[in-house]
Amino acid sequence: MTRTILDPTGERTVAERARLARPASLDGLTVGLLDISKPRGDVFLDRLEERLTGVGANVKRYMKPTFTKPAPVDLRHEIATECQVVIEALAD
């Protein structure tokens, strides 16, 4: 039996990106916490925010309207202009 698997992303070529260097410290940096709107993601981010502020990071919270689609362009732009580091939460 032959099976065909469709890729819903529509990428014709695989995107390869180099990893960015991690900062030596989060002290004084603005860290964006992106809740992708899955259940209990906020619980994880609440705890993470406590830990990050404890090491001197400034924390900004963001939320996607739904986990089923990529973040809207305006939200991505807002995060990119306001934060030096971003953490995306996924939970269930």
Confirm whether 12 is domain-assigned. Answer: no
Confirm whether 6 is domain-assigned. Answer: no
pLDDT digits (tens, 9 = 90+) for 35-70: 998 888 889 999 999 999 999 999 999 999 998 888
In sign, the C-alpha dihedral spanning 64, 69, 47, 78 is: negative
Alpha helices in the chain (DSSP H): 41-54, 73-82
Could you tell me if 59 and 69 are in contact, meaning their C-beta atoms sit under 8 angstroms apart? no
Give the chain's domain count. Answer: 1
Confirm whether 50 is domain-assigned. Answer: yes
CA gap 19, 24 in Å, rounded: 15
Domain that holds residue 69: 30-89
Confirm whether 80 is domain-assigned. Answer: yes
Looking at residues 7-21, what average pLDDT do you find? 71
